[in-house]
Amino acid sequence: MRTMAGGLAGRVGAGLVLAGLVLGLAACSGGASYSSPEALKDAYVDAGGSCDHPQDLPESMISEGAHAILCAPPMAMLFVFDSEDAKNRWIATTGDSDMYTVAGERWAVAGEDKGIIDKLGGAEVKR
């Protein structure tokens, strides 16, 4: 009985952590909006980023409902999602990352240059 109760407590605790992450992101989402990875790339370049040779990242490599472009240097991954739920799923599955990440309602940027990324709006994703 102890093992069953301990397992249930662990699942409830994990569920609460995930719910807190999703609610925190919903409350902190920045006001900027980008309709496509290309629109986000244009904003990234306008903010001082470099993306002369963008590489499309297939949805199958990222997460269902996610569309992305990889830019370098400095490295940055620019994501636009079909829905806020798709964004939250992606964030929940990315785990710990050394990359600085910000997110808005249906977009996220993970990259190396905090100064450029902060100019795009959004809220920092805390993992």
* pLDDT tens track for 48-88: 999 999 999 999 999 999 999 999 998 999 999 999 999 99
Domains identified in the chain, total number:
1
pTM over 0.85: no
Domain that holds residue 64: 2-124
What is the DSSP track for 58-99? -HHHH-TTEEEEEETTTTEEEEEESSHHHHHHHHHHH-S-SS
pLDDT at 126: 78
- Residue 33 to residue 40: CA distance in whole angstroms: 8
